[in-house]
Every structure is written in C-alpha cells, then in structure tokens.
Structure 1
Amino acid sequence: MANTARQTATSISSQTTKRIVKNKLDPQERLKQLIDYSNQVDVDPHVAPIRYYRSGIEMIRMANVYYDEGSLENAYVLYIKFMTLFLEKIRKHPDFLTVPVEVKARNQAKLREVLPKAEKLKQQLLEQYKDDYRRYLNEVKNLELERKKKESIATRDVGEDIPSKQTSTTGGKGFPPASLCLPAGSVRMPDRLDDITYPDPDLAPAKPTAPLPSAPPPSAPSDPRIAIPAIDRSTKPFTDSNDRFDSGSLRAVIVPGKVMTLFQAMAQSNTFKNIETCGILAGKLEQNELIVTHMIIPKQRGTSDSCTTTNEEEIFDYQDQLSLITLGWIHTHPTQTAFLSSVDLHTHCPYQLLLPEAVAVVCAPRYGDAGFFALTPDHGLKFIASCRKTGFHPHPTEPPLFEKADHVRVDQSSPLEVVDLRDK
C-alpha cells in the first residue's frame, strides 16, 4: 500500500516516554522540560514531504481534541511539534521545493492560527504548574508536621514503658521479655520527607547488600504500642492515566467487531481471483482512546501478494470532510495465513513511525482467521525503517520484527461506516 507514509504526523509527537513533568519541579523548569521534549522532531528524507504536510493536518486535529478535553500538556506538545516541523525541520528535506505552492500556503495559514494558541496555552500551563508546585509544598509541610507528631507519640510511649519493662527480665505476666523490647530512639525517622526514596519502576532492582552492623533488624517491632508512621505515597508525583506522555504506554485502539466481516465480504470477488484487497482504517481521538469509526476502500491495484492504492487525493478529501485521523490499514491474504510479509512490514512501517498505535489488520479468508499486528518498537520498527530493499526480500526472524498488537480492543457494539471509493 503506497499511501502509508502519509499517515498522521500526529505520530511524530507520539513517541512513548517516561514522565517528564513532576509537581515537585520548579514551574519554569517543568515547562522547559516539556518544551525540550516537544522540540524533538525528525524528518525522514525517504518520506515525501507532501505527506508530512498531509499528516500535519491530522496532528492539529488531535491537538484540538486534547485541548477541548482539557489535556493541556498533550495539546501543547502537538502544537509545538507542528511548529518545529513546519517552521524548521521540513525545510531541510531534500525534496522540499517539490511541495506545491497551495499546500505550503495552507500550512502557513495553519501556522498563523497555531502560534497564538500555543503561546496562550503556554501561559495556562505555567499557571497550572505554579498551582501544582504550591500544592506540593503545602502537602510536604503538612506531612512533615504529621510525621513529627507521630514520632513524638512513639517516643513518649516507649519512654513511659521502659521502667516497667526493666523490672521484669524474665517476661512476667502482661510484659514481654526485656530482650524483645526496643530501646527508646531505635525507631528512627528521616529528618526530611524528601530523604525518603522510592524504587524507580523502570530500573532493574538493585542487588541486595548486607546491612551495616549498626542498622536495626528489618523485622517489625515487638511492642504493638510503638507507632511507626506510614509512608505517604502522595509525596510521589502522581501519574495521570489520561496523560498521553506520562503513561509510557500505547493508547487503546478500539476496532468495531464488524470490521473484519464487512471487509472480507467486500473483498470476496478479489479473493476468489487470488488478488489482495486493502483498506484504510480511520477514526477519532476521544478520551485518550483512538476509535475506528470508518473503513475506506480506495481505488487500488492488487496482485496475489500485494496491493497498492491509487487516487490518494480522494482518500484525503473524504477524511478532511469528516476530520478523520488515519489509525491503520487492513488487507487480505487470499491464500495465506494471517501474518506480516516482508512487503507488509515495509507498508506498515510509515504508519507506525507516524503513529505508534497504528495497527495492521490481516484477514485470511481461507483459514477463517484475522490478526492485529504491529512492528516491535524496540527492534522491528528501526530495522525496517533503515531497510532500503523493495519487493519481497528476506528479513531475519530473530529478534522478531512484528508482534500481535495487544493495545487493540475489539468492540462488537461500536458503529462503523464503510466507504467504497472503487466505484466512484
């Protein structure tokens, strides 16, 4: 499928990352980190620049959705990436001069619209970060007061109990043996809550080391009256599950259950002739989920093991009318099982480079099977992106170049609109 590289430049902004903003950061530093991350935009010289311009339209669509839903950081990142791409990076593309004048003019108009919006959003985020930082400082102050209060109670209770424990070294009635009693001050608290550290879930666990001779045993104290203040996890920066750039995981792609059935029915005549059929999966962003709402069957040329779209402008025009985002593609294997061939890998690569959640759906009618696939992000994506071979050619199978797309969720009740452009 030749049109794959045009897919959503929204994805240029969609690299999965670790959390880059924390409530305990100075607001200006927090904003700087967000801007630095947003400026990380690359342009592949092997992808036609016109397709970046097409994808930029979808990038803004997603940014506007995030803004309307109140996900300001996600919207700001997309706006900044859009500006970085089209004010700076795209001009370095070797084929930049081939972009039609009218396309550049439309892009310039969009830039004039985005620039003030991004500046306003920057101020909103800065105010939000200041509020977060003030709230963080207040929480730390309250936790510190609570810690001192609990420490005082624990120390007092131990101190009051010491005389009675010293009168019984054999463990009289109602008293534990002296050997089991903790001396006053053995329960030590950190001077500052900031000194409490937590393991980083992204790092491998450290190898255990022997405790220092002076360290108290890690077992719980035998005297239940000794109150050990619980660590309040609220001191750790929270992770908003709705935050695209904090989650470090792919957004869910919701696929209507009828997609495979309807597509195979529409491809049946080609399947009987041993010809592949392909289609585009498009939809919308809603509440940080990518929802397939439309299946577009474009004009195309197919063989027994490949399929290429034609008249791509028809697809673009239709998606523009409904503000649709391209979420992936679907095709048949008339005589084979469901997997990604070497040609399929190269077809899908631009989809996933531009949108990490992009999915490749393969239907195998002869075997009554269908699969959702994606390139492995740690190996397959980079390997195929750097491969310059065309047509069918062998690739190494280890490590795997593709895998099942586990972020796809099939919803049998989701509506689907099917558009067949082949007869138009």
Structure 2
Amino acid sequence: MAKAVNNMGMSIVEPQERMRFLSNHGNIIEVDANVPVTRYYRSGTEMLRMANVYLTEGNHENAFILYMKYMTLFIEKIRSHPEYPKIKAEVKVINKRIKEEIMPTTEKLRAKLLERYQKEYEQFLANKEAEKARELERERQRRATAGGSSSGGSGAHIPTNLHVQIDPSMQPSAPDLGLLDKVVYPSDFPTGTNRAGSGLLLPGDADKEGAKSISKPPSFDRNQKPHYERSDSLLAGSLRTVIIPENTMDVFLQLAQSNTLKNIETCGILAGHLAQNRLFITHIIIPKQQGTPDSCNTMNEEEIFDVQDQQNLITLGWIHTHPSQTAFLSSVDLHTHCSYQMMMPEAIAIVCAPKYKTTGFFILTPDYGLDYIAQCRQTGFHPHPNEPRLYMESQHIQLDAQRKIQVVDLRR
C-alpha cells in the first residue's frame, strides 16, 4: 500500500483503504461481563439515536461508524455476555431491525462515502500532476537563468506557460481529522502495510488479502484535541465537547437541599442530545433513590429509560452531592462512573459540595483509570492507589450561560 505524509503531517490513503479504516473503527467494541447486559441494550438505543442525528446532519463518517458498532455489538459481541441467554426476545427484535433498516442504510452510506472518496482521490492525483508540471517549469527556469548568459547555442523550446486547470469545486474536502485519524489520500512512497485484526465487515470490505484484512490505524498528533486513548472511542484521539447549562448546579442543589440539610446525598442523571458533533446536556432526571451521608442508590431504572425514550434523550453522565465533604470521586463513585464512561466516553461526573461551595467535573483517566476500575472486583468503599491518577478534571466541557437546564423529578 502506497503511503506518505502531506504538508499538514497527515497520512494519506486510497478510497478503499479509507473505507476499511472506517469499518475497522466500527468493528472495535468490547463487552464487559461485569456490566449488566441491559446496559448494552440501552447503549445500543442511544447509539442509533446519535447515528440518526449524524445521518441527518450529513456527517456520514460518524453515522457509518455508529451503525457498524451497533451491528458489531448485537450480531457478534453481545453473545459473549453471560446474561445473553436471558434476552432472546430483545435479540430477535434487534436482528429484524438490523436486517430491514440498519444494514441497508449502512450499505447506502458505504456507496456514498466511496463515491466521495474517489472524487477526492482523483482530484489529489490531478493536483499532484499539476505540481510536478510546475516543478519541471521551475527547474527549467533555474537552468535557463544559470546558463543563459554564457550559452550562445540554441536548444529545443520548452513552453513557459505549463498550467493545469483545476476545478475549484473539486478541491478535496477535509475529512473529520478526529474521526479519520488524519487518513486522507494515497502517496508516492511505497511501504509495506501490515493489515491485522478481525471483526464484522460488510460486503465490499474484502480485498486481495481476504475479507478480514484491515489496515492498522496510522499514528496521529493529539496536541490539538482532548486526549482519549481507548480504541473504542467514536473519534479516536478526541472527546466531543459537552455543553452544560451554567445553572445546572444551582438548580440541582435546590432540588437536593432537603437531603443536604439531613446530610444525605442526592443524585441525578444528566441527559441530552447530539448536534453538530457536540453533546448538549439539557435535562437532569432525578430518579427515586435511597441516600446516606456518603452514598446514593437509584431505584426503578425503567422509569428513567421511559423518560429518555419519550424525549429522545441520551445519557451523558450523572450528578450528585457531597453534603459535608469536598468535591472528589470516592471509590464507590469511581465504580459508578465507570459504567457511564464505558458506554459513553464523554460521560462526566459532576460533584457538588455545598458546604465548601465547590463543584468538580470529573472523568476517569482514559489512559489508566477507566481500565483499572473496570477490572477492579472490590465492592463498597475500598482503597485505590493514588498514582497513577484514576480520575481527572474534565477538559472537554463548556458551560453555557444562555441555556437553562430542565428537570424531571421522578421522586414526586
């Protein structure tokens, strides 16, 4: 596979290779046996909601990846979950949806993306030929300048107006760098490409090396985006921005005030929607719950799901109080948040500490804490190592004073 780097440091590959890269992204999803199988089915519902938004907005790469993830999860990976035999009815419904809706939509997306990539590839080749012609002309002029005054002979005439007309409308559209890991076009410098990996590939992925041959994602520069190392992130190398209404914390503290006065924690679910590749928290859902001075447990989860289904909301994290302590994540909080962040890499944990008038916006460290907590089998309050860090302040959030949070209080 020919491979090079353009003047922005981006690796470049051919159209079929770009499609294999997208398919590979969609194939990378893992199932943790310790996460209830119902969480994966909720995650699948929200995956489709986001995919449909991307499709409507014309962000076809992101839509393609999410549809592929959905199929990979429910055709292949979910079977490894120990609770899989208990959900046969749901599997039947999902398989029917995949066959009748998701797979045809994904194939149409594949064809549309391939067509676009082919046009960009052809334009790239045309630009490259034009640049070669310009370089030849510059070299001819350099030689003429160097030897023209001393040479009295005559030679073959080389035209000085070499120029290739390029249609401006055909200029390559820059793909989403976070999504494609800076994969754009092919190049001149042949190097061997190792293709490894396996997973669900739709028709059209097969090549000379076999249907399961997948290119390795090239390296890329993360300096301009929030870091996120896990390979199952939607946008490898970055987290989407989460927009939070600025009044969210004040509204929640008012809802929690009666519990706070009794030194009891209160918790709520942060939900919202996707638009223009940003995640907007729009609702706090307060479930029925039982709290203590240092813990809070939700009840009747199906009521939360009903609200989200009715209002087409996706889960974006959770919020809770520390009535008499500072803003931090306890060992129990770390395990609670792990399940949110595994389903949604951008999910945040907001901790309000009214006694100290502080608020923390936290995520598990993607390069260490998330995997560490996912593999920890201890329950209740228990010690964790302080180094490396297990959690950190969120860097991908943005407070918005113009937006107002909405509340659904299921306790009433």
344, 352, 366: which one aligns with 2:341: 352
255, 262, 268: which one aligns with 2:244: 255
Match in the other structure for 2:106: 118
Match in the other structure for 2:25: 37
Judging changes above 3 Å, is the alpha-carbon distance between structure 1 residues 160 and 203 closer, same or farther for their aligned structure 2 residues? farther
90, 94, 108: which one aligns with 2:95: 108
Give the root-mean-square deviation of aligned CA atoms.
Answer: 2.4
Unpaired runs of 5+ in structure 2? Answer: 1-9, 152-186, 191-218, 224-232
Match in the other structure for 1:141: 129
Cα distance in 1 for partners of 2:404, 2:133 equals: 55
Structure 1 residue 415: deviation in Å?
Answer: 2.6
Match in the other structure for 1:294: 283
Structure 1 residue 152: deviation in Å?
Answer: 2.4
Structure 1 residue 153: deviation in Å?
Answer: 2.3
Higher Rg? 1
Please tell me whether the aligned partners of residues 260 and 363 of structure 1 are also in contact (alpha carbons under 8 angstroms): yes
Please tell me whether the aligned partners of residues 24 and 133 of structure 1 are also in contact (alpha carbons under 8 angstroms): no
Structure 1 residue 162: deviation in Å?
Answer: 8.2
Letter in 2 for 1:339: F
125, 128, 147: which one aligns with 1:159: 147
54, 61, 86: which one aligns with 2:74: 86
Letter in 2 for 1:349: C
Alignment deviations for residues 192-223 of structure 1 (CA, whole Å, 9 cap, x no partner): x9469xxx76499xxxxxxxxxxxxxxxxxxx
Cα distance in 2 for partners of 1:195, 1:85 equals: 37
107, 116, 120: which one aligns with 1:128: 116
Structure 1 residue 106: deviation in Å?
Answer: 3.6
Judging changes above 3 Å, is the alpha-carbon distance between structure 1 residues 145 and 272 closer, same or farther for their aligned structure 2 residues? same
Letter in 2 for 1:357: E
Alignment deviations for residues 155-191 of structure 1 (CA, whole Å, 9 cap, x no partner): 333334789xxxxxxxxxxxxxxxxxxxxxxxxxxxx
Judging changes above 3 Å, is the alpha-carbon distance between structure 1 residues 100 and 275 closer, same or farther for their aligned structure 2 residues? farther
Cα distance in 2 for partners of 1:31, 1:140 equals: 22
Structure 1 residue 27: deviation in Å?
Answer: 1.8
SS at match of 1:88: helix
Match in the other structure for 1:75: 63
Select the structure with the greater relative contact order (CA < 8 A; seq sep ≥ 6): 1
SS at match of 2:285: strand
Structure 1 residue 110: deviation in Å?
Answer: 2.8
SS at match of 2:244: strand
Please tell me whether the aligned partners of residues 372 and 405 of structure 1 are also in contact (alpha carbons under 8 angstroms): yes
Q: How does 1:16-55 map to 2 (within 5 A)?
A: 24-55=12-43
Match in the other structure for 1:335: 324
297, 305, 309: which one aligns with 2:294: 305
SS at match of 2:355: helix
Match in the other structure for 1:315: 304
Match in the other structure for 2:214: none
What is the aligned residue count? 332
